[in-house]
Every structure is written in structure tokens, then in C-alpha cells.
Structure 1
Amino acid sequence: MARFKKILLAGAGATAMLAVGTAAGAAITGASGTFTERQTFARNDAPINVTSAGFVDVASVVVGIPSGTRRMLDARFTAETLCSGSGGWCSARIVATNASTGSTVELAPVSGTDYAFDSPGDNWEGHALERSSHYLPAGTYRVRAQAAIVAGATSLRLDDTHLAVEVIRP
């Protein structure tokens, strides 16, 4: 029986090594909160055309974190999209700017223009992006969904956009 246990343990170790090997060096992090304190939404059914290689605002909301507290933000952005061009992709991200300090943080996972929200070569379709912050200090924050064209894309048309931001207690 002892020999059988050793084989099982060796097999479990090999499985764990395989699981680690498939992560390809990715850092997996997590966060949690107790409950959603408040939800804020921005909706728009008018088309938005993005032709900038730099990020431009496509939706925004303002949320507050009460004095003497800290909160995590969870933000989701959805839109019907059409990315055009002869290559590349159209990117999106979500950022939060503290109104009193002016400091801006990209919500995690932070990927800049590396996140392909849509790519040229197809028709209108729905896309989504969800990001979260670390716990932020008290203050008023402007949370913005932003979009940009990257590496050969020429435009991104967005329609029927929706930005939802939850303020979450520790």
C-alpha cells in the first residue's frame, strides 16, 4: 500500500508541474470584496467613430469612495463593434482618474493597446471587456472606457455602448 501512495504522489506532482508549465509565466492574481455598494451606468445608442492611435474616451461615469474608506472598482464595457483596416486590431481599456489628484490608473489586467477588442475583416458583432482595480483610497473617480486603433487598423465604429461600474467594499 505504501508503494501505491508514492506513485499517486509522484503522479500528482507531475500534474502540478504540467499545470504550471501551461501558464507560460503568467502572473495570476485575485481580489475579492464583500458586496457591491453602488452601481453606476452609462449607456449610448449613438454611433462613435474612433480613428486615433492614442486612446480616446468612448464612455465615462463618476463614482465616489467615501472618506476614510477604500473600495475596489469592477467595470464592464460592452459595445457593438466594427473594426476596419488592412491588419492590426482595435483596442479598448478602462481607466480611473482621481478627481483631486489627477492620477490615472488602468484597471487590471493592465494591457495597454495589447488587448485586441476587435479585429478587421468581419462584420458588426458584440464585444465585451471587464476590468477591476486594486483597492483605491477615498475620493471621486472618473471611470472611462477608452478605445484606439493599432498597427494597420484604420477605424473602430462603436454602437450601443454600455459601461457599468460597481463600487465594492473590502
Structure 2
Amino acid sequence: MNLKHLARRTITLATVAAAALVGGAAGGIALADQQADQRATTTMSGGGIVAHRVATSDQIYDTTAPNIWQTLPGSTLSYAVPSNTTRLVTAEFTAEANGRDGTGGCAVRVVTRKAGSTTLTELHPRSGVDFIWALEQDGSAAHAMSRSLTVASGTRSFIVQVQASTADTLVCRLDDWHFQIDVHTSS
């Protein structure tokens, strides 16, 4: 390879690298991201914690309702976001869980509802039944999840829901659970 050809190759590689850097700064490097995963990434930020709410129970909860979200009794936590502000809410849920007597999985999610509305909004990541909490063959084990959402002013309820993600005879069981939300100032 002669020096002139090597110089051209170096300039071409430098041009490609510069284009990737500019593309990354302007709008994200899309090549690897698009090929690796088409799901969206959501980022949020908040400041200090202004409220902390907790609900916990050692009572067993079973549901067999296939493909219907059921509210975990006692898991509703509320917070009033002041007028003309937003708040980042982070939620954590832990429980002993299992799926029994069937096939498929038990899905869990955290949703919010603004006072006076019937519309439920799932906290991020919004996985729905894609977030399998427990499978029939797993036996009882401890499970944990974290979720988050930035919300506008108004009183909001935050709720844990569970469903048997199958039409079979699966029993989804939760026991010894702990649900908490932290409300952060706007950043």
C-alpha cells in the first residue's frame, strides 16, 4: 500500500468518525441503537424528596382473573402535587410472590390516576404484561421492582396492580409486600 492510498484511507476514516460524533451530539448515534433495540428509553430528573408514602401488608392476596388487572388491596398511596408544578415520583414494590396451579405468569405494574379521572397511566418502564413477576414453576420467592413518572399538579393516587397473564387456572399470589413512593421536587 502506498503512502497516498494510506492518506486517503485515514481521511475517510476521520470523516466517518467526525460524522458519528456530530450525529451523536445532535441527535444520538442511531446505528447501534436502532439495530440493537427498537424500544424507547425515557429519562426523568428531580430534586430532593418532599414526600414519602408507604403501604405494607403481611396478608396473602390471590387472584385468578386472567388478563384483567386487579388492584392489590391496600396498595393505594396518594399525593397532592401543588398548582403550577411537576413532581418526579419514584415507586418501589417488593413482595413474596408465586404462580400456582397453572401455566403462564403473573404480571405486576404500578399505575397512577388523577383525582376525578378514571384514566390510569402506567409508570415507566411501561411494560404491562411483558413484566412477568412470577412464573408457575418458580415457587415462592422475593421479587422487587422500581418505577417512575413525572406528574403535573393535582391529587394523584398510585396503585399496584396484578394479573394472571393467561386464560389457564393460574393463581397469582402476593404476600409480605411493601409499596412506597418518593415524591421529588422539580429539577
Q: TM-score range by the shorter chain?
A: 0.7 to 0.9
Structure 1 residues 38 and 125 mapped into 2: Cα distance closer, same or farther (>3 Å)?
A: same
Deviations 1:112-135 (A, max 9, x none): 2222111111221011122111x3
Percent of pairs with identical residues:
27
TM-score between the two structures when normalised by the length of structure 2: 0.77
- Comparing 75-84 and 106-115, the one that deviates more: 106-115
Kindly indicate whether the alpha-carbon contact (under 8 Å) linking 1:85 and 1:155 is maintained by their aligned counterparts in 2. Answer: yes
**Structure 1 gaps, min length 5:** none
Task: Name the counterpart of 1:124.
Answer: 140
Kindly indicate whether the alpha-carbon contact (under 8 Å) linking 1:34 and 1:168 is maintained by their aligned counterparts in 2. Answer: yes
Structure 1 residues 5 and 114 mapped into 2: Cα distance closer, same or farther (>3 Å)?
A: same
Structure 1 residues 19 and 103 mapped into 2: Cα distance closer, same or farther (>3 Å)?
A: closer
TM-score between the two structures when normalised by the length of structure 1: 0.84
CA distance in 1, matches of 2:134, 2:14: 45
Please provide the CA RMSD for this pair.
2.5
Structure 1 residues 153 and 18 mapped into 2: Cα distance closer, same or farther (>3 Å)?
A: farther
Task: Name the counterpart of 1:136.
Answer: 151
**Structure 2 gaps, min length 5:** 1-5, 21-28
Deviations 1:58-100 (A, max 9, x none): 1221122122322121111110001124321100111111113
Structure 1 residues 16 and 161 mapped into 2: Cα distance closer, same or farther (>3 Å)?
A: same
Task: Name the counterpart of 2:65.
Answer: 52
Divergent runs of 4+, >6 A: none
Instruction: Report which of the two has the higher share of helix.
Output: 2
Instruction: Report which of the two has the higher share of strand.
Output: 1
Structure with max Cα Rg: 2
Paired positions, count: 167
